[in-house]
Structure 1
Amino acid sequence: MCKLICLVVCVWFVTSQAQTDCGNKGSWSRSCGNLDKFNCEARGCCYDETEPNPGRKCVRVEKSPSFSFTATAGPGLSFGGEPGYPGNQFKRGCFPFIRNIKCDRRLNAKTESDCLRWGCCWDEEKKFCHKSLYNIVRLRKDCPPGYINPPGCELAKCRHSPCLNGAVCKDTATGYECECAPGYHRENCGIRQCPSPGKAHLTVYPDKDTWYDDGDVTTFVCDPYHRMFGSAQRVCEKGHWNPVASPACVSLPCPNLRPVSDGGFAPIDFQYLLGEVVNYFCNGGFALSGSSTSIKCIDPGPPSLMGVWEPPEPAGCTLISPTNTACLSFPCLNGGTCLHKPAPPFFECVCTPIATGPTCSIPP
């Protein structure tokens, strides 16, 4: 707390003896006595002819005289108050060690009202107007976290109602804590925020674990093999997302596969989604009709709501000519798979990773 101790001595000078402001009734204070207009104004007071009470016609102006302050250094003397703040308040002090020093040799104050009007100190016992001392006091404009009411800055508690926007306050050993209402967060629940928008099959930029500040813009990107439905951006506005809903990232299904007679495919699933690959095979004595043994489920783009197979499904497995017996000699080595072909050499080897070449005979 800023203590008003006399740490700086200031020299003051009266700049004008006429310090009355009789046009401003709001500044009038104590009565100067039951005086007529001449004697009232002679004492530097204000005479109000509209006042019906004779005892209140002549009043003293509360306004302090104008002083010119000059700080004077002395042994162990410095500014009082909180370090780092400019002197922003003057405090008058009356002290015993200056009770015998006349306020100002130019003044001849005989009454307490005259003495106090010039910022001096009145000794009632001696009926003497003596000098006063002024402190330059530095006052805090802000308090550190957890404290309120500058310049004193007392420990904040729930009785001070620090929590804002409908938050619930709970006293703690070190002060208090606020349980914020939905849409508010941070110090004293004074900042409106939006909750996490969710991340189902989404990547969010920027990615914050909990809360987003008012004005934050989020950008959404779908996981691979997912299509976005909805806006790719949302803005946090006063604790609510605009638009209200996050975009949805959906993995589209591909059409069901036709059964293959005299052969099959793997894997066998109830539903195939974007990115999945299916491999075809034929039974012995049959060959696959089509451009590839593998197909993949891909997204054709809007407006389609289904994936498509690329390349198209094979037509099926056809019976190999009895004269085509190339695979019967097991030409594919190192675990390679032999496929019948209608043209010479009437077979094709599908090699394992451990070999390459037409018959899988060449190490990788």
Structure 2
Amino acid sequence: MSRNAENRQKRFVAQTFTFTVFASLITLSHQQQPGTCFVSLNSRKPCRFPAATRRQCESRNCCYDRFPRFSQIRCFQRVPTMQFMFHPTVNSNLRGLPFGGEPNYPGSLVHREACNTTTERNQCGPTFPLPNKSTCDRWRCCWDAETRKCYQSKYNVIRLRTQCPPGYINPPKCEDVDECASNPCFNGGSCNNGINSFTCTCPAGTVGPLCYRECGPPPPITFGSFEPIQATYQPPISITYKCDSSYSLSGDATNECQPGGTWSQTIAPSCRFNRCGAPPSLEFGSFTPNAADYIPGTRITYSCPSNYDLFGNPHNQCSLSGEWSESTAPQCLLKECPKPVTISAGSFSPVLGSYVPGSVITYTCTSEFDLLGLATITCQDDKTWDPPNTQICQLVVCNAPPSIADGSYNPLQAMYQPGEFVTYACTDSTTHTLIGVGIVTCQPDRTWTQMPFCKRLTCNEPPPIANGNFGPVIGDYIPSTTVTYSCSGIYRVEGNPTITCGNTGSWSQVPSCVPIDCGPPQGIELGTYSPALESYPPFTTVTYSCCNGITISTPMGGFTFTCQEDGTWSPQALPSCTPTVCPPPPSLIQGLVQGSDQKLLYAINEVITYECNNGPKLGETESNTCGADGLWTNTFPDICVVL
């Protein structure tokens, strides 16, 4: 390949590339050249027509590699070499023109650059008559208003590749594939990478495009031969061994000349004199003569016992190839008994075309019948059945079911067939209950299913409850009997304490014992109590107290309260908090409390005097009084004049 052609190829494998045209665009075409077999393992594609041998592969104009190394493709397609040529595109300035590009490589687009009439001065169109601006624009050229001339425009053809040419990968960049990466050259040959191909520079003593070494004569075989027979053998040729007549090949029949100049098998397979092994065995029979192995021409004869018949060829002969003339032995079949007798309401199994001595059949009857006689009979050597074939089926019935105390059943019949049933019930359902399944069925074995019975209706002993008990305690609890539950200690009954035994033998809802809780004590104004708990069981005490500066007044019983066993607080009368002093009086705007009246606490009914900076408002007094409730009579005094 010339340097110019190689440079052109390198330009076409760029990720994106641009070329400029004046007056016309440039299009690209390619021409296929004779294909090459120097293809990297990664780029090989199987031959379109499958081939097993080198000759078949090459006859299909494909390439054959006997030693593909890492690839499993031995017969692969030739790859065409590429030549790229440039041709001008006619009428390049018209809309919808073919922008050029490479076949099978979509993504080309045309971009027009801004007109630069200063640097591009190639005239567009004829010199006479001169075009005007509309004609110049229609030609998609550049109009120079100053010189009133039309100049050729500049376009860029940008090709964004989605595929790469053969020998390149990773579109749109399309990097060259290194066909030498798989080390395709043997025996120290040097690989030279090309465009979608490679060549090997081979050392002395090697042959072929991949630097093979010739193999010497293949290993000889005794009592046999190989083909082809040649003076020299070059990889990847193979030879095939075969044995003389009356001998069989033991081992691999194929030996390959490898790239290194050695044979794949250093020792040839062996040819062994043919002998036949043991002949096909005969079940229930034998053959003569009986030996470990047999030389060709030996003939054996099969025979069966006296109570068997021989079906098939009684003879078998050892051939020169070491195989028996008959691949299967004849058969020894027992003599047949007559077909079994069919019976009404019954059947037998298995049902066969014939019954030889030793065959066993079994009789069965339908579910409504019983079998009279032995169910199993056997075919004897004298072609008779033992015991005799006299079986019959008899209808199955149940006798009347048994009676139960305090109950009855229906319907009443003398006999019942399997599957029929009766229903049991107690005579008085208010005093007795049926224990068990009320429906009883006649079974195929002439017995009834499990019988129920009537039990006097009572309730079990009332269930116990935690932290409580019940009474009265008696022997039997018949329907309508009641018992009452009570709780012990600090527990109370939750729910109805009395339960009743019902007609179904079960008790009504059982109550439970829950801890007694007085609940949070009642709060008081200007005071609180402690401790504050989530629950207050009996004997829990709380103590009331008032806020700072307020005196607590206690009724009879004091200010400590106790939770009683009945869930109430004692005493019931709550204490109260009565204020005895007032806090400092509220402040003034433009005034203050006289110095002699300023202190932290003030007694009930104590009076203080304000001093206004600018005098009091008309009608306002400059005093304030501590009330009996601990609050000042004038809560928000606004008595001073504000300037």
- Whether TM-score is above 0.5 comes out as no
Query: RCO (CA 8 Å, sep 6+): is it higher in 1 or 2?
Result: 1
TM-score (norm 1): 0.28
